[in-house]
Chains A and B, each alone.
Chain A
Amino acid sequence: MSDTSTIARGGGHRASASARRAKPPRRPSGLPLRFVPYALLLPGLLVIAVLLLYPLYQMVDMSFHKVGLRQIRPRNPLPAEFVGADNYTAALQSDLFGVSVRNTVIFAVVTVALTLILGTLVGLLLHKLGPKMSTTVIVGTMAAWAVPPTSAAVVWKWLFDADAGVVNWFLNMLPDWFSQLVFGRAEWAGVPWLNDPLDIYFVLVVTVVWASFPFIGVSILAGLKSIPSELYEAARVDGSTAFQTFRKITFPLLRPVFSVLVVLSIIWDFKVFTQLFILAGGTNMPREAFNFSVWSYIEAFSPPPDMGLGSAIAVVLTVILLLITFVYVRQIVKTEDVR
């Protein structure tokens, strides 16, 4: 650390001017200070512009053009012809539109709700458990969190396998009268779980909730730990009930964490692709099981490729997503330090 003892370079004669403002000491010279943040930001901004913003523009642009096989072939591609809103009309009139809206929205709502409820409960639980038990549960949930989505889908696909799956084995173990009463069937060997869209989505919800509740739980735990214990002591001295303490201390202080978790969950669950793609059997999956991501992918990349239509679907997906999360962005802007 020899540098720290050398004399300030260049900043000496300006020191008196800044001292009057009683502001932080003047920084060493170099690039004029007001340009520093822009210089630091430039590389990242370029990456975002080239890899995210420009493609976004291209996607919107393509959605108004006919972009088929002949337009994207490497040798003498035809110029993409402007077709106005034709791609959107085609998407809206397709019977897959309703299917995709239904699958995407219901899946997101159900999964986000379940993940947040389970995750929050686990966070509260971890906070209450003794140190050993808490560490054990954290390590266990970390394992679920760590499993890559592809692996998770493959494993749950196997757990729900008709013949060798553990789920059917477990359901077979249940007393017949109980099984008959609740599910309307007693014999489970060979019952397929991944043929019918509704069943596929049931398995998908389980898979995604399983993989994502640990993150919520650990984040809630971190939030709870960051609340100073003095606040709780003060509340106890003042005779606050458990509910009052939760409402007046825990909840308000956790709100910033919670709103971030809601946004992230929505973003992740709305565009689920990998797990659905693998669980439902890849490009050959039943069309009734499409969501927006998969539908857009299949239109754009399955022969014959129609990238205009694929882009139009992707635009619709993006717009819905932005509308849903707009209100949460406002929440974050209010609570987080963005100003």
Chain B
Amino acid sequence: MNPKTRRKLGKFGLNAAGIAVFLFAIFPVYWMITAAFKPNDQLNSTTFIPFPMPPTLEHVERAFTKGINGNSIWTYMMNSVIVSVSTIIIGAVFALLAATAVARFRFRFRTSFLILLLIVQMVPSEALLIPLFLNVRQMGLYNELLGLIVINVGLTLPFSVWMLRTFVAAVPKELEEASWIDGASRFTTFWRVLFPLVAPGLVATSIFSFITAWNEFVFALTLIEDSDKFTMPRALSFFVGQRSTDWGGIMAASTLMTIPVLIFFLLVQRRMVSGLVAGAVKG
């Protein structure tokens, strides 16, 4: 075999592998979304129906009107939005301050703090469920979205600080020093110099936090009792338990929960990859 054919064959093999990975990754998502638009007889068919013929909106409509357990799926979407957005806004402030501290300063206990971050990340949040349940109840936050927000801030913070510190460290210190020489105050330097440069990193970090909070299931399962305060994951699991064979309805709800994250992911995927590169390269 001459080198040219071999290179061509190799390229073909790589592309075939690429397509296989693509199909493995995308098929369940495709199957979920199409199922949300398939009429019931096609859903329960034992043959393979690749595309809804003709597509129906009955499942999506049912999710919004009849909903799950008497509430429109809109209620659950809004609950999830409230919890996730509050979590990232509060979390970003805490994380940026702490990340600046560890990336910009050398101080006593710095190493201890970083190791502490690593260790608390390793503690399974499921293990904290019992004490946090009792504490939240004692503070009167049981069955309140605020309780979930507070807990999500705690759950996402260690990883946010850990991730964000590499972005802060990647900003050349000289820029800040130039700002000091020009007489800028510490706050101005932070706000006008460091913050704009760290902003992409903050976006990437916030995306991780948003997704963690949006997907959080265990605490939503334990801390929320009334179904009108359920977040999407909790509502979906309730739905599966209650009407386990209504695959059309379940897939419609599941699609509605996935779509926002999916769009979000695809919009920022380029930045996310470059963000990870920026985080990985040490200057």
Q: Which of B21, B154, B257: most chain A Cβ within 10 A?
A: B21
Shortest C-beta distance, B151 to chain A (Å), equals 7
Shortest C-beta distance, B19 to chain A (Å), equals 8
Q: Are A277 and B237 in contact, CB atoms less than 8 angstroms apart?
A: yes
**A residues in contact with B280, CB < 8 Å:** 219, 222-223, 226, 256-257
Alpha-carbon distance A47/B23, docked complex (angstroms): 42
**B residues in contact with A257, CB < 8 Å:** 280
Closest chain B residue, CB of each to CB of A128: B14
Alpha-carbon distance A161/B31, docked complex (angstroms): 13
Q: A318 and B123 in contact (CB under 8 A), knowing A27-B186, A151-B258?
A: yes
Q: A273 and B237 in contact (CB under 8 A), knowing A43-B98, A139-B266, A148-B257?
A: no
**A residues in contact with B186, CB < 8 Å:** 27-28, 30, 36
Digitize B7-35: 1 where CB-to-A-CB distance is under 8 Å, 0 elsewhere: 00000001101100111111011011001
Q: Are B21 and A141 in contact, CB atoms less than 8 angstroms apart?
A: yes
Q: Are B123 and A149 in contact, CB atoms less than 8 angstroms apart?
A: no
Q: Are A166 and B130 in contact, CB atoms less than 8 angstroms apart?
A: no
Alpha-carbon distance A339/B264, docked complex (angstroms): 35
**A residues in contact with B276, CB < 8 Å:** 218-219, 222
**A residues in contact with B119, CB < 8 Å:** 322, 329
Q: Are B161 and A164 in contact, CB atoms less than 8 angstroms apart?
A: no
Q: Are B257 and A150 in contact, CB atoms less than 8 angstroms apart?
A: yes
How many interface residues does A have (CB within 8 Å)? 116
> How big is chain B's contact interface, by range?
35 or more
Q: Which of A34, A126, A155, A263: most chain B Cβ within 10 A?
A: A155
Alpha-carbon distance A11/B111, docked complex (angstroms): 30
Interface members, chain A 121-138 (any B CB < 8 Å):
122, 125-126, 128-129, 133-134, 136-138
Alpha-carbon distance A211/B202, docked complex (angstroms): 24
Alpha-carbon distance A128/B15, docked complex (angstroms): 10
Q: Are B182 and A164 in contact, CB atoms less than 8 angstroms apart?
A: no
Of the candidates A34, A136, A154, A271, which one forms a contact with B236 in the assembled complex, judged by CB atoms under 8 Å apart?
A154
Of the candidates A154, A221, A307, which one forms a contact with B130 in the assembled complex, judged by CB atoms under 8 Å apart?
A307
A332 in the interface (beta carbon within 8 A): yes
Q: Are A164 and B43 in contact, CB atoms less than 8 angstroms apart?
A: yes
**A residues in contact with B192, CB < 8 Å:** 1, 3-4
Stretch binding the partner chain, chosen from A176-184, A232-240, A296-304:
A296-304
Closest chain A residue, CB of each to CB of B238: A282
27 residue pairs bridging A and B, Cβ less than 8 Å apart: A36-B186, A43-B93, A43-B98, A51-B154, A54-B131, A62-B130, A140-B25, A141-B21, A141-B22, A143-B26, A154-B240, A154-B250, A159-B31, A164-B44, A189-B46, A210-B28, A222-B277, A225-B277, A226-B280, A271-B124, A271-B127, A273-B126, A293-B126, A296-B130, A322-B123, A329-B122, A338-B111
Known pairs A43-B97, A62-B131; list 18 more (Cβ under 8 Å). A4-B183, A24-B177, A25-B177, A44-B157, A47-B94, A55-B128, A125-B21, A126-B18, A133-B15, A142-B266, A148-B215, A149-B217, A150-B237, A163-B46, A271-B127, A277-B217, A301-B222, A338-B110
